[in-house]
Each structure stands twice: as structure tokens, then as C-alpha cells.
């Protein structure tokens, strides 16, 4: 039972353009949604989050959008940079700070 899904395993974008990563979830009890970024041989690092009572959160080049009725969230990166190339995980939080992760999307930003 995959409660958090990232349907695109990979995404390739030209430097300077927008990257849009998508995530769908099924459990209405999730109260917080987060994006983590992971480089090879490193642990995931927190990128940005959004509360379930909001529909948008912006931090510099990164913006997360939440559509609760569709149980969908997305991460926008603009402009994309080669250093953004990594695997991005969507995560949803339930009680006790326990996160359920999606399968990840590998983003490749080409110079």
C-alpha cells in the first residue's frame, strides 16, 4: 500500500528552465508534507515543507504547492541549476514526526 507516490522516476531539464516534480498521496491524515534532496552516498537532506492548511510555500528558488482536494503536491525549482541534479523524495508526515516517503524522482539539470 503505497501511500505516497512519485510517478516519474526521472526528469531531465535544461539549466535555467523550470523543474516540476510531482507527488500524490492517499492518506488524508497526513498533516505536513516535505521534500528531501539526496546526493549519492549521502543521507537525504531537508529542502522545503508545507503544512496541510496551506497551499503554497516559497523559499528562494524552491516553491511547493499543495492541492488537498486532489491529494497532490508539487515542487517547482526555478531557475534550475546543474547543482540541483539529485534524487528528490516527497514525504508526508503523520503523528510523531514519522515520515512516509515516495519512491523518488531523479532530476538531471543539463548545462
Partner 1 sequence: GAGVSQTPSNKVTEKGKYVELRCDPISGHTALYWYRQSLGQGPEFLIYFQGTGAADDSGLPNDRFFAVRPEGSVSTLKIQRTERGDSAVYLCASSPDRNTGELFFGEGSRLTVL
- Indicate whether 101 belongs to the interface with partner 1 (CB under 8 A): yes
Residues 17-76 that bind partner 1 (CB under 8 A): 32, 34, 36, 41-46, 49
From 40, 39, 38, 10, select the one nearest 22 (Cα to Cα).
Answer: 10
From 89, 83, 91, 85, select the one nearest 108 (Cα to Cα).
Answer: 85
Q: Which stretch binds partner 1 (CB under 8 A): 55-63, 69-77, 78-86, 98-106?
A: 98-106
Find residue 100's DSSP bridge partners.
Answer: 92
- Indicate whether 98 belongs to the interface with partner 1 (CB under 8 A): yes
The 8-class DSSP code of residue 27 comes to -
Q: Tell me which residues touch partner 1 (CB under 8 A).
A: 4, 6, 9, 32, 34, 36, 41-46, 49, 89, 91, 93, 96-104
Amino acid at each position: 500500500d503505497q501511500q505516497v507516490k512519485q510517478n516519474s522516476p526521472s526528469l531531465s531539464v535544461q539549466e535555467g528552465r523550470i523543474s516540476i516534480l510531482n507527488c500524490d498521496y492517499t492518506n488524508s491524515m497526513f498533516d505536513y508534507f516535505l521534500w528531501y534532496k539526496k546526493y549519492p552516498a549521502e543521507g537525504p537532506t531537508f529542502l522545503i515543507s508545507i503544512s496541510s492548511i496551506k497551499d503554497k510555500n516559497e523559499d528562494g528558488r524552491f516553491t511547493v504547492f499543495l492541492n488537498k482536494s486532489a491529494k497532490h503536491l508539487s515542487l517547482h525549482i526555478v531557475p534550475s541549476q546543474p547543482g540541483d541534479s539529485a534524487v528528490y523524495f516527497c514525504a508526508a508526515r503523520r503523528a510523531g514526526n514519522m515520515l512516509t516517503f515516495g519512491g523518488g524522482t531523479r532530476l538531471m539539470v543539463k548545462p
